[in-house]
Amino acid sequence: MVIKILGSGCPNCKRLEQLAQEAAKEIGVNAAFEKVQDIQKIMSYGVMSTPALVIDEKVKVYGRVPSKDVIKKYIEEEI
């Protein structure tokens, strides 16, 4: 599983990455994490506001930081 955090590296982007890593660890999922900061790549996902969470190339949420429980649900949907 590949989990991508799309964003410029702002505090919300860092928070989303932290929560996603914690969620994956708590579920027991071995995931590779990537940061995507290039604006052209971010836009290629159709994302117009960051941060965004992409799991296995599917945009799950953008423009906000969801709770850890919501992130767990997104991860479980892709297992």
Instruction: List pLDDT tens digits, range 3-51.
Output: 999 999 999 999 999 999 999 999 999 999 999 999 999 999 999 899 9
Quote the pLDDT of residue 54.
Answer: 98
Asked if 10 is an active-site residue, the reply is: yes
Cis before 11? omega within 30: no
Quote the pLDDT of residue 72.
Answer: 98
- The structure's pTM equals 0.95
Could you say which of 1, 2, 10, 79 is catalytic?
Answer: 10
Quote the pLDDT of residue 77.
Answer: 96
Quote the pLDDT of residue 75.
Answer: 97
Could you say which of 3, 6, 13, 20 is catalytic?
Answer: 13
Domains annotated for the chain, with CATH where assigned, are 2-77 (3.40.30.10)
Quote the pLDDT of residue 56.
Answer: 97
- State the helix-helix crossing angle for 68-77 and 11-27, rounded to 10 degrees: 60
CA-nearest of 42, 39, 29 to 1 is: 29
Asked if 20 is an active-site residue, the reply is: no
